[in-house]
Chain A
Amino acid sequence: MRPNDRHYLPSHEWIKITGDTALIGITDFAVDELSSGNEGDLVYCDLPEVGRTLEDGETFGEIESVKAVADLNTPLAGEVVEINPAIEDHLEILSEDPWDRGWLIKIKLATKDTSKLLDAEGYEALLASQN
């Protein structure tokens, strides 16, 4: 079971809310799909500038492996207040610890309405149905 302290998008991003802000990252499943299990295959992550305002579901960046590329979408609207400085040079963090050290951006939430998002159970069910 994946962490139930956060919410998920079907496109494999997670969001963890703490007060007025939230951390956003991608799930272990996404990392695995992109890198075919080979952490060295993740090669590039394009993250937004601090200060950018994101709409619900907006694409804020991209992550690339040797042979694939995926958009990064925000589960909730908000303003980017921080990006994880360690990621750019150490993409292996995403394989090692996608849930904590592997967060990508921090946003100041414009809304806390999580009703359209999946919880951990819902996300697990989605993965099960796709396999």
Chain B
Amino acid sequence: MPFIQNTDADRAAMLAAVGVKTLEDLFEGIPAELRHKGPLPIDAGLSEDELWSELQELASWNSTTTAGCFLGAGMYRHWWPRVVDALQGRQEFVTAYTPYQPEASQGTLTAFFEFQTMVAALTGMEVANASMYDGSSAAAEAVVMAANLTRGRDKVVVSRGVHPHTRRTITTYLEWTGLEVVEAPLGADGRTELGGLLDDKTCALVVQSPNTLGVIEDGAAQAAAAKQAGAISVACVYPIALGLLESPGAQGFDVAVGDGQSLGVPTAFGGPSFGLFATRLANVRRMPGRIVGQTVDGQGRRGFALTFQTREQHIRRAKATSNICTNNALIALRGAIYMAAAGPAGLREVAEHCLAKTQYAARELEALPGFSLRYGAGASFNEFVLDCPVPAAQVNRAVDAAGMIGGFEIGRWYPELGPNALLLAFTELTTRREIDALVRTLAPLAAAATVA
């Protein structure tokens, strides 16, 4: 049997040691009437080579993003140096568990300590945890933390520009907490309009920049408005953009969260990714998730251990800051290796390439008659809403026929943008040839629409 090493002889010796005759006898604790009769309705097992063939066939039913892909909307195709795969893939990292025994886990713990340092540096915050599940759940946990920090306040203001999955996750987490979620609308410029929404009942403001429409928000003004109202400000970030754009910490935000996927993680149909969570040191006792701290052993040697564990579910149970236990450590390790491989210069280079491709595409697409950028060329980092003369679905079909993957029909999430709005994303992996091919594919659609 695959992966089971004991032979029949081993089993016989062990059964004798236990004092029973058959394997079935081991299950005496399960009443006979509860035992399942016969085999489960699951196909017979395969050998490794048979499975590999099957996997290749299944994989061939999927079109990959490698031939040109303009989909983003929360997950982006970036390059990662192949050392990321080789190092993260080491069995010593892959097959270890949560570092509850620090002496036997200094590898993982040191890597998390460095991860926390890099996340804090990237976001401009004082502390970061050792990762969350993803950006959406990190944002929901940030709101829960904000509510705990500002007891008595029960209103959560969330920008409509925040990713719809994140907004929905926040709503789901908060459903029974008594907190009310209020949506801050987007203005004609694609930026959040806070109006008079922030007040002395508001515990948290959640914004995202660049937002889901690709528009860079005025984070400093938003953080200041939250501060004035006494609310905790939460910024959802796109880590790659922070190579170029101002950090939430410098803008005055209290909490930075985000999805780490852009930091060396494949899109892989949506996961696993990892979540970033960083905040001010004063909030550390309310922060969810695992935290690694530096300390010393009996001989004064530097070492690392999980710390502030009493916040966590295994000790505080019903009163824990969060129920998170397993997080996304191995993927966060990818993120750490990526950040260390990039350094400040590499990250800035990636960000500048993203921006350069986006600006190039914006100019080329805007020049097509009938097409326009909803929020202008200067509003974006690596993604923009293109208003098309025909339905976005039709545009995507044409792009698909050209062997590439089109953008996202953003009207599905923002009906107010209409069916012709297409959200297009560009990264350092997007080539000029791909952009030119996209332009060539779209051009006849404009002409056709004009004729009609």
Contact = CB atoms under 8 A, between A and B. Distances in A.
Nearest to B314: A67
A44 B311 CA distance: 12
A67 B316 CA distance: 10
Contacts of A127: none
Interface string B300-312: 0000000001100
Interface extent on A, as a size class? under 10
Interface string A58-75: 000000111111000000
The SS class assigned to the B binding surface is helix
Contacts of B309: 66-67
B283 to A, nearest CB: 15
Contact of B316 (A43, A44, A69): A69
A65 B315 CA distance: 11
Interface string A34-45: 000000000110
Contacts of A64: 310
Contacts of B315: 67-69
A26 B404 CA distance: 69
Nearest to B320: A69
Contacts of A68: 310, 315
Interface in A65-110: 65-69
A64 B312 CA distance: 12
A69 B315 CA distance: 7
Interface centre among B309, B310, B315 (most CB of A within 10 A): B310
Contacts of A44: 310
A67 B309 CA distance: 7
Interface centre among A43, A44, A65, A69 (most CB of B within 10 A): A69
A53 B228 CA distance: 31
A117 B376 CA distance: 73
Contacts of A69: 310, 315-316
A44 B308 CA distance: 10
Contacts of B310: 43-44, 64-69
Nearest to A65: B310
A94 B315 CA distance: 21
B394 to A, nearest CB: 60
Nearest to B309: A67
Interface in B308-327: 309-310, 315-316
Interface centre among A44, A66, A68 (most CB of B within 10 A): A66
Nearest to A46: B285
Nearest to B285: A44
Contacts of A43: 310
A77 B316 CA distance: 26
A43 B307 CA distance: 11
A64 B285 CA distance: 12
A62 to B, nearest CB: 9
Contacts of B316: 69
A65 B308 CA distance: 10
Interface of A: 43-44, 64-69
Of all A-B residue pairs in the complex, the 8 with the closest CB atoms, nearest first, are A69-B310, A64-B310, A69-B316, A69-B315, A68-B315, A67-B309, A67-B315, A68-B310
Given A43-B310, A44-B310, A68-B310, 9 more contacts: A64-B310, A66-B309, A66-B310, A67-B309, A67-B315, A68-B315, A69-B310, A69-B315, A69-B316
8 contacts: A66-B309, A67-B309, A67-B310, A67-B315, A68-B315, A69-B310, A69-B315, A69-B316
